[in-house]
Amino acid sequence: MITADLTGQPFETWAGPAGFALGYEHRDEKATFDPGAFFYGQIAPTSPGSRVPYGRSIPIDPLRGSYNTDEIFGELQIPLVSPAMGLPVLHSAEVHAAGRYVRNSLAGGDFTWTAGGKLDISEGIGLRGNYTRSIRAPAITELFNPTSGLLTIAKDPCDIRFLGAGSDPATRAANCAAAGLAPNFVSNIVDFTARGSQSGNLDLENERADSWTVGALVAPASIPGLTLSLDWVNITVKNAILNLNADQTMQACYDATNFPDPVCGRIDRDAAGQVSFIRTGFVNAASYDYRGLIGELSYATATPFLGADSSLQLRASYQYIDKLEQRVGSGDVTTLRGEIGYPKHKSTASLAYKNGPVGLFTQVQYQGKAKVDADSPSNAYEYPTRKSVAFVTGSVSYDVDENYTFRVVVDNVFDARAPYPAPAGGGLVPYWDGIMGRYFRFAISARL
């Protein structure tokens, strides 16, 4: 990586000097993954174009790829009100702006920027806001993931069992009819595996997002160590990279409002309409809309009444999701808000105590009530919802000396169970502690 920058104060305002920065950055990114001969597998005796595993794992492909970026950036910060001005209403105020042009050797060039401002009503109490255009470049795994064969089943939207499903059944039915499939069509891929592939995509482009936030920050001088922030966040992501599986690929095609969508070219059907091959993998096919409230609290203080050298640190975060929607291609909108992994209410709180070599820590993670499918009626599933749950973690640590620390951790202290019937419906990750139950870990940290 090569970086060069220039900073300074090009001019003065009535509130003080303005600050700026200009710079250039060059980065080379590369990755290599070799699964080894065992996990790579061997050529299948009856099918020279495919491999079979030595063990119980599926064959794993090697991965290799690289790209580079050249970036030019600039920032400007201008004070409008300073504490020295002694205004009765405002303590301080400033505006800022920044821009960056990124040329990616594979994904192309994009300009990102942000502009915003901050004003303090009094010392430690302020309001802030900004608008940002941002990008995310494709990762090496998304670009260079090797093509591998697969056998898959899928819920074919044109099958009579699913033709009336989705958020817009009329559009689905019209698209299937346009594809030459009868209303009583029965698709083999629903019950029997069909051939397909999964691969990376060297034609991926940058993801792009527009976002704005408004919020307040409180860090009063009268309560040292306390910081409280509350922000309303609105984010729209377009051209998002998604690793489409067989179900999503078919839904993106047959639920599209501009049928035939380009993603339809990933599905091959024979003369009878049966899926003969389906190509899955990474594509710029999704868009997301997020709107929500994010709050954070941090408080640290000395506690001599609990020990001469002791201290407490409290941290907490909270998220309320007001809107979270996904659209694949030009298909129908999928509501993620309130589903498993995306509950409307989610929070984490932790408390740490330190007294000399002894440390105590506890954390509570709360997952609010969630649905299996926010777009389906409650009678579509036998168990359509998952109850809210909280998992508590605790630990004790002891600094043996400056270099060694011994730690005992208890995950899921109260042995809280994952809400039944997790992990069905995608609850493996959010309810992992409840699935594992109470368990203990012992660790020694060495600083050499």
| Token pair belonging to 361 | 């820590």
- How many Cβ atoms from other residues are within 10 Å of residue 128's Cβ? 17
With b meaning 16 or more CB within 10 Å and e meaning fewer, what string describes 198-235?
bebbeebbbbbbebebebbbebeeeeeebbbbebbbbb
- How many Cβ atoms from other residues are within 10 Å of residue 49's Cβ? 7
Per-residue confidence of the chain (448 residues) as pLDDT tens digits? 899 999 999 999 999 999 999 999 999 999 888 888 888 888 777 766 667 778 777 777 888 899 999 999 999 999 999 998 988 889 999 999 999 999 999 999 999 999 999 999 988 899 999 999 999 999 998 999 888 778 899 999 999 988 988 778 899 999 999 999 999 999 999 999 999 988 888 889 999 999 999 999 999 988 999 999 999 999 999 999 989 899 989 988 998 888 888 889 999 999 999 999 999 999 888 899 999 999 999 999 999 988 888 999 999 999 999 999 988 876 678 899 999 999 999 999 999 999 999 999 999 999 999 998 888 877 878 888 999 999 999 999 999 988 899 999 999 999 999 999 888 778 889 999 999 999 999 999 988 8
Predicted local distance difference test score (pLDDT) of residue 375? 83
Phi-psi region of 329 (alpha: psi -120 to 50; beta: other; left: phi over 0): left
Please, is 158 exposed, middle or buried when counting C-beta atoms within 10 Å of its C-beta (0-12, 13-18, 19+)? buried
Residues, the chain: 448
The strand pairing partners of 307, in sequence order, are: none
CA angle 428, 333, 245 (to 5 degrees): 50
Q: Are strands 310-328 and 275-302 parallel, antiparallel or unpaired?
A: antiparallel
Write out the DSSP string of 63-98. EEEEEEEEEEEEEEEEEEE-GGG--SS-SEEEEEEE
Q: Domain coordinates of the chain in residue numbers? A: 1-122, 355-448
Report field, pTM of the whole predicted structure over 0.85: no
Predicted local distance difference test score (pLDDT) of residue 48? 61
Q: What share of the chain is helix, strand, coil (3-state, %, to 5)?
A: 10, 55, 35
